[in-house]
């Protein structure tokens, strides 16, 4: 019997790998193993679902059974992978052992959780999957129902003013929630945006009602005395916020537990070469868990799509190097729409505003290495991309 290609993970990276491979090879068996249901959904839609009045059920675009049937994939859902033996090319799972011809690791990333005090610290939520969003949606819906009698608005405290934190802040504030955002930096999305543009986003969301708390962190979360379901959030600066839900959005860390236990070379992610092969023969990785050439991790949709297409060709017998073109990132903050094409990691230079709504990142030779656009200028991404060298 022909050994299959095994894919671990049913997120965008896993399903895209299967779909791209099937365009090139209709017969080689493919087994996809996932700890969840395997239903397909667009992960970016999690951070703007409330404004679109979409609940968990509406976010699933293709049920797992339909995905498996259309891609001619054997789906092993609700199955936990316990270990990978690269010597015998075996995947050990809660449902038994499976031997592979080639293995694709699309294990994604897990939310970073920081330790904090308080008797309600365990109730802090993170949203990194459809299952997480379901819990978050249910908690907020329950809070809304509990407060409607008093015509009160639900209060969400968001830990982290990065891209995801800001997208959730905009989504929730426009959906009738009270939103406070806590971050140790001085501006939102400080890792991607020029300071001036970050200040504009800060003002735009403040005008929508977002309550910013910069230069501090959440130290403790306790149950609120005298109010069922209420939370007290204590900040490092001594302030206390009252909340119904606390959402942690402070970042993601590659899920490397299986890879490290299997002896694969890992740094910030699983180290892969230009063909997406890990340090082990016949084992490949892509997506949030991979570290590409140059030490880059690329946790966005377009890099996954490019990687999946290149990997599919390699798996189909045509070794292919992955090439990542300039891939601007659209940030879902309708209060101030943004598109950012950051310079490559390690590039020395500075941000300069060339005209209202247009920022350029230039190096010491004045060469354009990245750009950021806001408002109506976001439609100019193709034009600006041509200036990047």
pLDDT of residue 1: 80
Residue 7 has pLDDT above 90, yes or no: yes
226 token code pair: 């005298």
- Quote the pLDDT of residue 143: 59
Give the H or E element holding residue 14: helix 12-24
Q: What confidence tens digit (pLDDT) does each residue in 31-48 have?
A: 999 999 999 999 999 999
Q: What is the pLDDT of residues 76-134, one digit of tens each?
A: 999 999 999 999 999 999 999 999 999 999 999 999 999 999 999 999 999 999 999 99
Strand positions, DSSP E, 94-170: 96-99, 102-105, 109-111, 155-159
Contact 138, 57 (CB under 8 A): no
| 373 within 8 A of 357, measured Cβ to Cβ | yes
For 118, the token pair is 């308080």
Residues 311-348 pLDDT 10s: 999 999 999 999 999 999 999 999 999 999 999 878 99
Predicted pLDDT at 346: 84
Is pLDDT of 64 > 60? yes
Q: Which domains does the chain have, with CATH numbers?
A: 5-110+253-315 (3.50.50.60), 121-248 (3.50.50.60), 337-385 (3.30.390.120)
pTM reported for the whole predicted model: 0.94
CA 374/CA 200 separation, integer angstroms = 9
Pairing assessment for the beta strands 81-85 and 90-93 based on DSSP bridges: antiparallel
For residue 281, what are its two tokens?
A: 């023969």
d(CA 368, CA 73): 44
Q: How do the residues of the chain divide into helix, strand and coil, expressed in percent and rounded to 5?
A: 30, 30, 40
Q: Indicate whether 144 pLDDT > 70.
A: no
Determine the longest span between alpha carbons in the chain, in angstroms.
66
Distances (CA, A) of 245 to 11, 125, 186, 202, 353: 26, 8, 24, 22, 38
Q: Do 343 and 349 form a contact (C-beta atoms < 8 A)?
A: yes
CA distance 145 to 1: 56
List pLDDT tens digits, range 212-257: 999 999 999 999 987 777 999 999 999 999 999 999 999 999 999 9
d(Cα 287, Cα 282) in Å, to the nearest integer?
17
| Whole-number pLDDT of residue 149 | 47
List, in order, residues 6 or more apart from 74 with CB less than 8 Å away: 4, 29, 30, 31, 32, 68
CB proximity list for 226: less than 8 A, separation 6 or greater: none
Burial 117-128 (b: 16+ CB within 10 A, else e): ebebbeebbbbb
Average pLDDT, the chain: 95
Residue 151 phi/psi, 5-degree rounding, is: 55, 40
Q: Is the pLDDT of residue 198 over 80?
A: yes
CB atoms within 10 A of CB 266: 19
CA distance 381 to 195: 20
| One-letter-per-residue 3-state SS of 204-233 | HHHHHCCEEEECCCEEEEEECCCCCCCEEE
Residue 284 neighbours by CB distance under 10 Å: 25
Mean pLDDT of 181-202: 97
């Amino acid at each position: 019997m022909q050994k299959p290609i095994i894919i671990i993970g049913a997120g965008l990276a896993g399903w895209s790998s299967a779909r791209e491979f099937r365009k090139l090879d209709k017969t080689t068996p493919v087994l996809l193993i996932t700890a969840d249901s395997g239903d397909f959904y667009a992960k970016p839609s999690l951070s703007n679902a409330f404004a679109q009045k979409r609940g968990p059920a509406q976010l699933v675009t293709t049920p797992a059974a339909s995905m498996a049937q259309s891609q001619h994939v054997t789906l092993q859902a609700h199955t936990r992978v316990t270990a990978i033996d690269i010597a015998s090319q075996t995947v050990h799972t809660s449902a038994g052992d499976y031997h592979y011809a080639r293995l694709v690791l699309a294990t994604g990333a897990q939310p970073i959780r920081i330790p904090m005090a308080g008797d309600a610290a365990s109730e802090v939520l993170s949203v990194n999957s459809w299952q997480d969003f379901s819990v978050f949606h249910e908690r907020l819906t329950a809070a809304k129902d509990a407060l409607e009698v008093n015509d009160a608005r639900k209060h969400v405290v968001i830990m982290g003013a990065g891209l995801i934190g800001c997208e959730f802040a905009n989504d929730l504030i426009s959906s009738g929630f009270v939103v406070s955002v806590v971050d140790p930096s001085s501006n939102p999305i400080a890792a991607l945006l020029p300071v001036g543009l970050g200040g504009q986003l800060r003002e735009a969301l403040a005008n929508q009602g977002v309550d910013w708390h910069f230069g501090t962190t959440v130290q403790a979360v306790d149950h609120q005395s005298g109010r069922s379901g209420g939370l007290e959030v204590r900040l490092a600066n001594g302030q206390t916020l009252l909340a119904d839900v606390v959402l942690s959005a402070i970042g993601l860390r590659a899920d490397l537990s299986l890879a490290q236990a299997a002896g694969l070379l890992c740094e910030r992610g699983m180290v892969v070469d230009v063909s997406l092969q890990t340090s082990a023969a016949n084992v490949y990785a892509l997506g949030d868990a991979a570290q590409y050439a140059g030490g880059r991790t690329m946790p966005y949709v377009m890099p996954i799509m490019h990687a999946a297409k290149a990997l599919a060709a390699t798996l189909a017998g045509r070794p292919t190097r992955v090439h990542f073109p300039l891939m601007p990132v659209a940030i879902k903050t309708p209060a101030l729409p943004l598109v950012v094409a950051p310079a490559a990691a390690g590039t020395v230079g500075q941000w300069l505003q060339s005209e209202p709504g247009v920022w350029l990142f230039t190096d010491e030779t004045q060469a354009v290495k990245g750009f950021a656009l806001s408002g109506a200028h976001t439609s100019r991404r193709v034009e600006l991309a041509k200036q990047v060298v």
